[in-house]
Amino acid sequence: MSSAAEGAMTSHELASGGGPVPTGGVGRRVLGNASLVVGVVMTVALVAVAALSLVWTPADPNLAAPADRLLPAGSHGHLLGTDALGRDIASALMVGARTSITVAAGAALLGVVLGTISGLTAAAARPVVSESIMRGVDILLAMPGIVFALVLAATVGAGVGSTIFALTVFFVPSFTRVVRAAALRVLAEDYVTAAELYGRRKVFILARHVLPNIFSVLIVQFTLYFAAGILTEAGLSYLGVGVNRPAVSWGMLLKEAQDTVGVSGPLAIWPGLAIVFAVLGLNMLGDGLRDVLDPRLRKRSS
């Protein structure tokens, strides 16, 4: 019971993010961690913009208006100007935030779930099973994520679904490794031995003792892969094998800018800035969370 309660508390702390936290020690650690505070602020801003785009954007990002083409930033009604077809850049960036979040968070979530299943299996199963999972992971890690996306684009065609699938395949092996390593640490603890001696079944031990104790690892990894997913999705869409119109992606906007007006001008700058902002925020959030949730690691990495 106590370990389940611990798990619940951890998730409660996470849910409250930078807000008030019950215990003083953790509270001081949260507020004293610049990376976490900045990361939370940036990520909340990103999510807020994406959420806002669901109900309101300055204009339709797919609506071409030839009369208004290539307006500079600050033009009336177009905060960041327009592209070569007269489409509003600010609106496109807002909708792009939504695409980034959907694709990257979706893939990271699928990756966490599948990676947790295979990682726990690898940690607890018989050596034959565990060894074959880990060798399979080694092989999958040798496959560049971009390769899967290319194959999918050539066969089923590019799109949001293909991109999420490609990213998930790319994420699962590394998640499996991380989860297995974390689970092995927990499985070596005395209370697990006690539970085994008490006659608890493996599945019970994994669900009751291991999962709650590796929860913080999962959260941190989710955040970091969320960030990696945004980068990879942008790269794939930039190549034209990721997200396509009418969906809007930051990588796709950069490609369009380069195709129509070359690299010069603000068209190529805005989407890049947006990507850096989102990825930096999430990475700082992930690093901060790691420091706060796992003080042992803090000594090592800072």
Partner 1 sequence: MLVFLARRLAFFVMALITSSILIFALIRLAGGNVASVMLGKAAKPEAIAALSKELGLDRPLPVQYFDWAWGMLRGDLGISFRTREPATSLLLERLPVSVPLALAGMILALLIAVPVGTYAATKVGTPIGAFVAFTSQVGIAIPVFWAGVLLSLFFGVRLGWLPTGGWVPWSASPIDSIRSLALPVIALGLVMAATLSRYTRTAVLDVMNEDYVRTARASGMTKRGALLRVGVRNASLPLVTVVGLLAAELIGGTVIIEQVFSLPGLARMVLDQVQAREVIVVQSTVMIMVAFVLVVNLIVDILYGVLDPRVRVSR
Q: Select 68 or 287, whichever has its Cβ closest to partner 1.
A: 287
CB of 145 to partner 1, least distance (A): 6
CB of 287 to partner 1, least distance (A): 8
Q: Select 111 or 271, whichever has its Cβ closest to partner 1.
A: 271
Which spans of this chain sit near partner 1 (rule: CB under 8 A)?
A: 135-136, 138-139, 141-148, 150-156, 227, 231-232, 234-235, 238-241, 251, 254, 258, 262-264, 268, 271-272, 275-276, 279-280, 283-284, 287, 300-302
CB of 78 to partner 1, least distance (A): 22
Q: Select 8 or 276, whichever has its Cβ closest to partner 1.
A: 276
CB of 76 to partner 1, least distance (A): 27
Q: Select 156 or 194, whichever has its Cβ closest to partner 1.
A: 156
Length of the chain counted residue by residue: 302
CB of 291 to partner 1, least distance (A): 12
> Read out DSSP for 188-221?
TSHHHHHHHHTT--HHHHIIIIIHHHTHHHHHHH
CB of 160 to partner 1, least distance (A): 16
Enumerate the H helices of the chain as residue ranges. Answer: 2-16, 24-32, 34-55, 89-124, 127-141, 145-155, 160-187, 190-197, 202-205, 211-213, 215-239, 250-261, 269-293, 295-301
* Nearest residue to 163 via CA among 99, 91, 117: 99
Residue 25 half-sphere exposure toward CB, CA atoms < 13 A: 5
Query: Cβ(224)–Cβ(289) under 8 Å?
Result: no
Which pair of structure tokens corresponds to residue 72? 């500079």
Question: How many of the other CB atoms lie within 10 Å of CB of 263?
Answer: 10
Phi, psi of 82 (to 5 degrees): -130, 165
Q: Select 76 or 300, whichever has its Cβ closest to partner 1.
A: 300
Q: Select 17 or 272, whichever has its Cβ closest to partner 1.
A: 272
